[in-house]
Structure 1
Amino acid sequence: MMAAGLLLFFGLLCLAGAQDPYNDLPVGYRRGVDLALEKLSSHTTVHHHFRFLRTLDKSGFGVKYLYQHFLLKPTRCAKGTTDSNPQRCPFRNDRPLMDCAVCYKTASDQIEPTPKPYVHCIQKPRVTEEMMNTRTEHCKKMTYNSGAPTLLAVGSG
């Protein structure tokens, strides 16, 4: 009886201490996950609600350009659910993960409309090396084609 009580206590303690990895992301990167989730939700062919699982790669291109490669995992909640609490929307293990890459420009942790944010999500088993390279190249071009003046464009007075 005492062992069962201790087991229950430690189980609840683990649940209380378990953090959602989404909440551990810096705000600027959370915006990118939100953008990918919004795009996925708007597709009629996507039938599941997803939650952020983990970051695979991220970097800032310069001060305001962010790139993030991450996984989303389907949940048991209906598509369109706004509550992503892990206890109320548990992950399901019978559907493939969604592999996403996003890049965008931020100012004060808000996504800027120009250049247009890039979002590419596809089921993980369908990701190819070519897709990965295309994603990276697109994001690299975005940082160089921002229209911002370069040091060479600044004349000496």
Structure 2
Amino acid sequence: MALHIQALMLIQVGRLERAAWVLEASISVRDPHQLYAPVVRPLWALTFARLGQRQRGWEVLRDAFATGVPPIFFEGACYWAAWFLFEVGHAREAAVLLGFFEASAGGNGSREVNDLKDSPAKLRSALDGALGAALQEAVAVGRSWTLPDALRMLRDLA
């Protein structure tokens, strides 16, 4: 089993410190699934946010988008970045990214997110609780965005 899949399973059962270690290992070692690194870095940032290590999470997220994310992986990277933004108190920006993700992925979720066993409905539900009626407006903005728009917002925030 790929390390990033193991890490997500650890996150789901609340073993965040171990998940952070496994995610770091999945990026730094020659994991055969290392091609997922552009998607794993934002997930790793999310793990740090949930551990209360926001600054470290921002550093990881900044590195993820500074090095460039191949377009094929950008949907998955956006999804986990949106979760990170939600966790650190940027719910509106997270909703905009969710809208971009949904428009890019055709509403079905991206392969990277599906492989990592998560659902955009979970994020939408969390954002609905935080934003209420403002969620739909923010998602609509994201649906109109292009890849450069989403990258610009992420780089500006990080």
Higher helix fraction (1 or 2):
2
Q: Which has the higher strand share?
A: 1
TM-score, normalised on structure 2? Answer: 0.25
**Structure with the greater alpha carbon radius of gyration:** 1
